[in-house]
Amino acid sequence: MLQILVVEDEQSISNLIKINLTRAGYACDCAYDGLAAVDMLDKKPYDLVLLDIMLPGADGYEIMDYIAPLEIPVIFLTAKASVADRVKGLRMGADDYLTKPFEIIELLARVESVLRRYHKTEQVLTEGDLVVDTASRTVTKKGETISLTKKEFDLLLLFVRNKNIALYRETIYERIWGGEYMGDSRTVDLHVQRMRKKAGLEEQIQTVYRVGYRYCP
C-alpha cells in the first residue's frame, strides 16, 4: 500500500484529506507542524508528501529543502495563490501545486497523476471479487472477464479510485471525455448505466440525486 504524509496544521483539513485518501486505498499519516514532519520523514519512507506552506516550527519551503535529497514527490497545498509562490515551490522541486480551497476529487486526481509519473501507482486494484488491471486494461469479476469499451473501463477505474465519493456529472464528463461539460447528462448517464450493468455493479454504483454517482463497494 502506498504511503502518503500529509503536512497540514489545520486539523479539520488534515483529517478530511486523510479520510478520503484512506477511502481511495492509500495509507496516510498526518503531521501538524514542520518539525514533526521532518521527524516522521526520518523514521519512515513515504511515496508522496502533501505539504502546506504556512506551518509552525518550520515552513513548507524549509521542509522542501529537507525533502529534496530524499527524492520523494511533493504536492504543495496552500492558500498562497500568487504566481511567485507557485513558481518558488516548483523551482524548489515540488511536483504540483494545489490552492486552497480545493475539491477532494481534484486532490485525488493530482495525487494519482504524480504517483503515476513516478511509477508508484498500483497496477492491480481489487474490490472484493472485482479486479481491475490498469496495465492490461482488463476487468474480471469472480474470475470471469468483463468486456468493457475504452470509455466504460475509464469510468470504472474513476469510480474505483474514488470510492465513497459523490462524483458530479460535470466532473465525470471532464475526466473521461476531456471537454467542457455543457449540461447534457445523457452521455454520462448512458455510459454509466451500461458499464455498471456489464460489471454487475448496479447496487454499488449509486445515483446521487441532482449530483451524479457514487461507488460504494
The DSSP secondary structure of 13-51, one letter per residue, reads HHHHHHHHHHHTT-EEEEESSHHHHHHHHHHS--SEEEE
Upper half-sphere CA count for residue 149 (Cβ side, 13 Å)? 10
CATH 3.40.50.720 is the classification of domain 124-215: no
| CATH architecture of the domain with range 3-117 | 3-Layer(aba) Sandwich (3.40)
| Domain ranges for the chain | 3-117, 124-215
* DSSP SS3 for 152: helix
DSSP class of residue 166 equals P
pLDDT digit string, tens, across residues 65-112: 889 888 899 999 888 666 777 777 778 888 998 888 888 888 988 998
pLDDT of 206 higher than 90 = yes
pLDDT digit string, tens, across residues 118-156: 777 667 888 889 999 988 999 999 999 999 999 999 999
* DSSP SS3 for 125: strand
Using pLDDT thresholds of 50, 70 and 90, give the confidence band for residue 189.
very high
pLDDT on residue 81: 64
Q: What are phi and psi of 148, to 5 degrees?
A: -125, 150
**Among 1-15, 181-195, 201-215, whose mean pLDDT is lowest?**
181-195
pLDDT of 40 higher than 90 = yes
Tell me the pTM.
0.67
